[in-house]
A = this chain, B = another copy of it.
Amino acid sequence: MGEFDLISRLTARAGARADIALGIGDDAALLQVPPGEQLVACCDTLNEGVHFLAGTDAGDISWKSLAVNLSDLAAMGARPAWTLLSLSLPRADRELVDGFIEGFHALASQAEAALVGGDTTSGPLSICVTALGLVPPGRALRRDGAQVGDLVCVSGTLGDAAAALNRARAGAPVDSAAARALQSRMRRPTPRLALGLALRGVAHAAIDVSDGLLADLGHIARASAVGLRLEAAALPASEALRALFPAEDCLRFQAIGGDDYELAFTLPPQRLELLRALGADLGVEISVIGQVVAGDGVRLEAPDGAAIDFGCTGWEHFTGSPP
């Protein structure tokens, strides 16, 4: 299979939108941003051996490469519109390519995000996705809006993907419903797009949990010039996580494991009822995990009020200490 065959197979599943004046097949795509909308743009790469283990299913890789970008759009309260895909493959064999296209398309079609361009090249396995979305001016969820007195909340459960990675590295078998549940969270995370849209005008600040809860909430604290106080006992955990790991490991995965792609956000306490209703409507579990205080930094507290310190707050490339 050559480069142009690969491109034509990608193009066949690119998806359609009325706002695409010219899609794949020219030097660049021509896109119509609707009047009254701002463009929201982000770009993230996944590399083999860094972001996913060698031997990971091609469909899972491509799903995740799109999911991590859609998660960034969700964290801005943006609606996805278009994507560009830059795909480096060591070889273009049909099975790999078709698996890759399946995973990407499965999530893209759910999210109504059309593929409008990119490139394919030979090289070490690596996927760079650019996601472009739309949000009305002034309605985006940002990191710098948290206010003292806000509640700190998070969607879903935390730590599942980090726990799955821990098991995979240790060679633990995926031989139970709980192990499969964790693995699925690592391989095909769900970007919280509907929740992001629902949080427009409700949340004061938001971020997605990718590097680790403490690291990511640290960005909100810095950008908003506030402190965050979190209760360790309030961090949501899945039944699968609790079934497979002792409490101490669970907390570590939840607090600094990252790779969750849940939304962490702050909002005034008087909107909690509204939030509960939104969560129920969307079928998304919402947990209140702490509050915004005067000061700086993120403090994770045990039930006795003692600060819990893991020595790092999450993943950082180059100096990074994955849990």
Contact = CB atoms under 8 A, between A and B. Distances in A.
A132 interface: yes
A91 to B, nearest CB: 7
B223 A43 contact: no
A174 interface: no
Interface string A130-149: 11110101001011100000
A76 interface: yes
Interface residues of A, number: 72
A46 B41 CA distance: 21
Interface string A115-138: 011111111101010111101010
A88 B121 contact: no
Interface string A210-232: 00000000000001000000000
A245 B133 CA distance: 50
Contacts of A82: 41
Contacts of A206: 27
A49 interface: yes
A68 B140 CA distance: 32
A47 B25 CA distance: 22
Interface string A1-28: 1111010000000000000011001111
A295 interface: no
A89 B318 CA distance: 9
B2 A28 contact: no
Contact of A75 (B27, B38, B40, B132): B27
Contact of A47 (B22, B27, B88, B223): B88
Contact of A41 (B51, B76, B116, B137): B116
What are the 3 A-B residue pairs with the smallest beta carbon separation, nearest first? Answer: A47-B123, A28-B42, A128-B128
Given A3-B320, A6-B318, 10 more contacts: A26-B144, A27-B75, A27-B206, A28-B73, A30-B140, A32-B38, A41-B117, A41-B132, A45-B121, A50-B123
